[in-house]
Amino acid sequence: KASSMGYDVVKVPRDDSNGYYLFIRDSFHNIYEIKEKREGD
């Protein structure tokens, strides 16, 4: 798991659907977008 290595996983809800964006923030506060996750696709 990413969270066990000092990373925070951040879910950002989408405005136009039921899905969400998935990001990882590391211990240096860099943010990486993992991939787009959509519900119901």
Output the pLDDT for position 38. 60
Output the pLDDT for position 21. 83
- Cα separation, 14 vs 7, in Å, equals 22
pLDDT tens, per residue, the chain with 41 residues:
666 677 888 888 888 888 888 889 988 889 888 765 566 65
Nearest by Cα to 16 from 34, 38, 33, 41: 38
Output the pLDDT for position 37. 56
- The verdict on pTM exceeding 0.75 is no
Sign of the CA dihedral with 1 first, then 13, 38, and 18 last: positive
β-sheet with 31-37: strand ranges across:
8-13, 20-25, 31-37
